[in-house]
Every structure is written in structure tokens, then in C-alpha cells.
Amino acid sequence: MSNVPSDLKYTKTHEWVRTLPDGTVEVGITDHAQHALGDLVFVEVPEAGRKLSAGEPFAVVESVKAASDVYSPIAGEVTASNAALAAEPEAINSDAYGKGWLMRVRPSAAAGSALLSPEEYGKLIAEEGD
């Protein structure tokens, strides 16, 4: 059974979102997603300063099986990305919700929120067949 922390929000495309004290949000891929991808070998993260719209691909995660786009859950500007993943992509496998974070975003004022609660996301992945 996948780990779905109760203090985060989620997307249908398997990203997690954490609101930080300074108002920015941290984004990564879920434990369910890393498990489905298998051992990650390469991660491409966005440049700070990049403007994203909600649903736009912002990162690429490549495993021994596949390469997938990761979609921004929210519109805003990238304030930081996790450079450590270049040398250690497997951090996403071992710690998807911690050291495996991909980027931090300052949401644009108009950013609406169509994110899933932990319960909704848990139900989604249960339906997909975990």
C-alpha cells in the first residue's frame, strides 16, 4: 500500500503539493508514482524564474523503464528546484515526500486550486489498482 501523507494535497497525475510557511509551495511526485516508475536514473528539474501555468510539464523523471513528464499542479513562478537530484535521482525512490522534492513555486495570485485531498487521492490510486 502506498504512503499518502495526510498533511499534503495531490493531483490526478500523481504529484504532491506542500504549502510552506513563506507561502510558496513544494512539489514532488507521490510514493505511488515512484513505485510505478521503478528505479529512477535521471531527473530534469526546471530553472528558477520559470513561469508555469497549471498542468504544464515542468520536469522529466526517467527510470530504467520509462521517462515521464511531471505536470505543475499550480500556476506560478519557480523559486527553486532540487539540484541534488542530478547526482542522486534515487532520492525520489527512497524519500518521495522529503529529499525527493522537485521544485518550489510562488503561486500566482489567480492560482485556483483543484487539488485532491489525501482521502480523494488514496481512493484514486486504490481504483487504479495499487
Alpha helices (H) along the chain: 31-37, 91-94, 118-128
Nearer to other proteins, 17 or 45 (CB): 45
Q: Could you tell me the strand order of the sheet in which 51-52 lies?
A: 9-10, 15-19, 25-29, 103-107, 76-81, 51-52
Interface map 54-93 toward other proteins (x if CB under 8 A): --------xx-xxx-x------------------------
Helix (H, G, I), strand (E, B) or coil at 22: coil
- 126 and 9 in contact (C-beta within 8 Å)? no
CB of 18 to other proteins, least distance (A): 25
Give the whole-angstrom CA distance, residue 92 versus residue 90: 5
Stretch in the footprint of other proteins (CB under 8 A) among 13-21, 42-50, 97-105, 112-120: 42-50
Stretch in the footprint of other proteins (CB under 8 A) among 2-10, 21-29, 41-49, 110-118: 41-49
Find the Cα–Cα–Cα–Cα dihedral 86, 87, 92, 95, rounded to 10°: -140
Q: Give backbone dihedrals phi and psi of 119, rounded to 5 degrees, phi first.
A: -65, -45
Q: Which one of 6, 21, 22, 47 is in contact with other proteins (CB under 8 A)? A: 47
Nearer to other proteins, 38 or 112 (CB): 38
CB of 39 to other proteins, least distance (A): 12
Binding site for other proteins (CB under 8 A): 42, 44, 47, 62-63, 65-67, 69
